[in-house]
A and B are shown apart, each in its own frame.
Chain A
Amino acid sequence: MTSILELPVDEYMLPGNRSCAGCGLGIGLRYILKALEGKCVMTVPASCLTVLGGMYPVSSVSVPWINSVFPGTAAMASGVAAGLKALKKEDITVLAMAGDGGTYDIGIQALSGAAERNANFLFICYDNEAYMNTGTQRSGATPKGVKTTTTPIIGKMHSPKDMGQIMEAHRIPYVATTCVSYPTDLYDKVKKAREIYGLRYIHLCVPCPSGWQYDPQNTVTIGQLAVETGAVVLYEIENGVFRLTGRSRRLAKDGKLKPLTEYLSAQKRFGNISSDTLEELQEYINKRWEEFISKDKTLFE
């Protein structure tokens, strides 16, 4: 595993961009592009990433970038990959990068189709668990109990989809989850994915100060809490072999999850969650954690 000090120095995301102060996406994008050494072409739908990328005629990212319609990220990436293949220019990675809305909701059809065809690109879903760019409306990724601008009083009443499992069910060569609070974990996964042919899916947890309602300085610590409480689990599935990675692996081997309330109470979006919902969420996380541990046959080898 790469250490912080071994991470490459070259940057492909430029300062003075349009992201909010403390936006986790900035950290994530830096390491994704470092892992690809800038040798990529991105397809990006309407999202916070579009905003970070900047307004015409200035770009905040020094890699080729193609904006896409909201539902079409994976289709466009599929087309770029097909075009580059037809022209025998396959030495650059096609990187599709969409938010949770552009992945779970409006983008799932194109992504599922591309996955079924094993189109040759890397899809990264940066998940900030709601439609942040349009003002924090609930999405298919928003956890139960969360207050958003479209679940303003009671909180979201439905559980989110499990996108990792959905992608795993497509039997693509690589599925991984990671979090911007662990840049080396992210870096290593993108680096590994880069070398694999076909559709690779990485799920990136990105804490969002404005949408999750916490002080911007806590972006990294909130992401760490997400992993340490099991709300987010770091794993990868390479050719069908499941293994927990990084902090989650260490927790599974010789630790235990922190209580979920530590993570929830650090964010105002869970402000008025009922004790029933809290109990339900904790039970779900415990059950899922046990499932992940038993699913990882490499854990106690």
Chain B
Amino acid sequence: MTVLNNEKTISIYNNSSNPKAYPPGKHVLTGNQSAAIGAFLCGVQVIAAYPITPQSPVVEELSKFVEDGELSAEFVPVESEHSAMGVCIGASIAGARVFTATSANGLAYMCEQLHWASGSRLPIVMGCVNRAMAAPWSVLNDQQDSMSQRDAGWIQLFCRDNQEIIDTVIQAYRIAEKVYLPVMVCYDGYILSHTVMPLEVPDENKVKKFLPPYIPHTPIDINNPVNINPVTLGEPRYNANGVLCHGYMEHKYLHHKALRDSLNIIEEVDSEYKDTFGRSAGGLFSLYKTDDAEVVIVCAGSLSKMNILVVDMLREQNIPIGLVSLRSYRPFPNQKLSAALKNKKLILTIDKSLSYGYQGPICIDVKSCLFEAGISSIVISFIAGLGGRDIKPYEIAETAYDYWNKFLNNELNSENIYESQWINCKY
């Protein structure tokens, strides 16, 4: 990281302090407020968004900041999510720091723009307030929306609580602008978005020091005109000076490599953040009581927070259980995760989404990373909480207890291994 010239850094920010209503310190805020304040503190310059439940309060809050004159940003009230991402792409290429947020069908409607944003290597930060995908209509929480966009070439970070939302938004700009990739900050609809929690709002001056100005990789310059993202053939092609330039495949390799390289950056940025602000937002993943655990739960998002209770409940029953909370889903920290899961006998993954026709996406990736590391633990896929179905700690605890005993008694059958297990599904 280049050393910052603080004066220069500060000059690019239009706002000069925290929002009036949110000075540095403890506040009790919803997840949506937390995301909006995070974007404010990062000095976003263009915001484009379209309302969708449960994301709407994020952009309502931001438009209030803009209309109040507290945040000197362009707020573009677009006519669709497809255009929201289109505006973000255009503004990001122009050199502005941009923010948007969406949920569920809005995210799906953006789909081709998501690929365009990542293929253009733009450091766009987007809040994805996780909601179930219709049909049938549901505005409630699960994680099918962001999981369905897993392969769009974005970094996907999952937040466990409202503190992590504000911290992850700030970290996301730092990561995105360093590796030139867009970041989706995923947090559970209602459970986090509409629930108030105490959290620490950082001081804007500290954020400015943490986050250098955004420098676009390919600036718009009439004296050095570039045609960005033209038709690019599969095979390499010579330029006018006889240099053999990348084909489509080399560009995709570089995009992929940037995502893989960002594994280190995500960890670095989180640890620098901890040094500056005194708390981590979870790195690539975080561990709870896994050292001596023989059975481990793996999940992502707010469910991880609740599962701390579950682990504590089961530990009281002398079950050797631990918890892995996955924060970075893409890039997937396969090597580090398999190392953390080494010697664990039973792994219980809980997905709030489904790769229809197989199992939960987290489960599939966990199995794959264990296999490549030569670890032959038993992994069981649990599906829970779809479309806002309540997940209660005792249900998870009972399930984990039950499966651990089945494991000990050699009672796990092929139905348990090959098919996902649906928690609290009455069918």
Direct contact of A and B (CB under 8 A): yes
A76-B87 contact in complex given A41-B220, A55-B230, C-beta closer than 8 Å: yes
Q: Using a Cβ cutoff of 8 Å, how many contacts connect chains A and B?
A: 175
Report A-chain residues with C-beta under 8 Å of the C-beta of B232.
55-56
Segment touching A, from B30-38, B88-96, B295-303, B357-365? B88-96
Q: Is B228 interfacial (CB-CB < 8 Å)?
A: yes
**What is the chain A residue whose CB lies nearest that of B232?**
A56
CB proximity to A under 8 Å, residues B233-262 = 233, 237-240, 243, 245-246
Report B-chain residues with C-beta under 8 Å of the C-beta of A57.
237-239, 243, 245
> B87 near A66 (CB under 8 angstroms)?
no
> B229 near A109 (CB under 8 angstroms)?
no
> B83 near A83 (CB under 8 angstroms)?
no
What is the bound-complex CA distance between A53 and B232, given in angstroms? 12
Q: How many residues of A contact B (CB 8 A)?
A: 49
> B228 near A79 (CB under 8 angstroms)?
no
CB proximity to B under 8 Å, residues A66-88 = 66-69, 71-72, 74-87
Q: Is A112 interfacial (CB-CB < 8 Å)?
A: yes
> B112 near A69 (CB under 8 angstroms)?
yes
> A78 near B222 (CB under 8 angstroms)?
no
A69-B226 contact in complex given A57-B237, A75-B78, C-beta closer than 8 Å: no
A67-B230 contact in complex given A83-B94, A87-B96, A92-B222, C-beta closer than 8 Å: yes
CB proximity to A under 8 Å, residues B60-89 = 73-74, 76-80, 82-89
> A78 near B90 (CB under 8 angstroms)?
yes
What is the bound-complex CA distance between A40 and B231, given in angstroms? 21
What is the bound-complex CA distance between A31 and B55, given in angstroms? 45
Q: How far is the CB of B159 from chain A (nearest CB, A)?
A: 26
Report A-chain residues with C-beta under 8 Å of the C-beta of B226.
59, 64-65
> A80 near B91 (CB under 8 angstroms)?
yes
Of the candidates B80, B83, B221, the one whose C-beta lies within 8 Å of that of A64 is B221
**What is the chain B residue whose CB lies nearest that of A65?**
B227
What is the bound-complex CA distance between A110 and B79, given in angstroms? 7
Report A-chain residues with C-beta under 8 Å of the C-beta of B245.
56-57
Q: Is A116 interfacial (CB-CB < 8 Å)?
A: yes
Of the candidates B87, B231, B243, the one whose C-beta lies within 8 Å of that of A78 is B87
> A79 near B229 (CB under 8 angstroms)?
no
Q: Is A58 interfacial (CB-CB < 8 Å)?
A: yes
> A116 near B89 (CB under 8 angstroms)?
no
Name, among A51, A54, A66, A110, the residue most crowded by chain B CB atoms within 10 Å (CB to CB).
A66
> B93 near A68 (CB under 8 angstroms)?
no
Report A-chain residues with C-beta under 8 Å of the C-beta of B227.
53-54, 59, 61, 64-65, 67
What is the bound-complex CA distance between A56 and B243, given in angstroms? 12
Q: Is B225 interfacial (CB-CB < 8 Å)?
A: yes
Residue-wise interface mask of A (21-60) relative to B, using a CB-CB cutoff of 8 A (1 in contact, 0 not)? 0000000000000000011110100000011011111110
Of the candidates B46, B73, B88, B90, the one whose C-beta lies within 8 Å of that of A66 is B90
> A80 near B94 (CB under 8 angstroms)?
yes
What is the bound-complex CA distance between A110 and B81, given in angstroms? 10
Q: Is A63 interfacial (CB-CB < 8 Å)?
A: yes
Q: How far is the CB of A287 from chain B (nearest CB, A)?
A: 33
> B225 near A71 (CB under 8 angstroms)?
no
Q: Is B201 interfacial (CB-CB < 8 Å)?
A: no
What is the bound-complex CA distance between A87 and B13, given in angstroms? 10
Q: How far is the CB of B330 from chain A (nearest CB, A)?
A: 21
23 residue pairs A–B, Cβ–Cβ below 8 Å: A54-B230, A55-B237, A56-B231, A56-B237, A59-B226, A61-B225, A61-B227, A63-B225, A64-B226, A64-B228, A67-B227, A67-B229, A68-B89, A72-B83, A76-B89, A79-B46, A79-B76, A79-B86, A79-B93, A79-B94, A80-B91, A83-B93, A87-B96
Known: A75-B90, A80-B94. 18 other contacts (CB 8 A): A55-B231, A56-B233, A56-B245, A56-B246, A58-B239, A59-B226, A63-B222, A65-B225, A67-B228, A72-B89, A72-B113, A76-B89, A79-B46, A79-B90, A82-B96, A84-B94, A86-B91, A112-B79
A interface residues, Cβ below 8 angstroms from B: 38-41, 43, 50-51, 53-59, 61-69, 71-72, 74-87, 89, 92, 109-110, 112-114, 116-117, 119
B interface residues, Cβ below 8 angstroms from A: 45-46, 48, 73-74, 76-80, 82-96, 98, 112-113, 116, 220-222, 225-233, 237-240, 243, 245-246
Nearest 3 pairs between A and B by C-beta? A79-B90, A83-B94, A75-B86
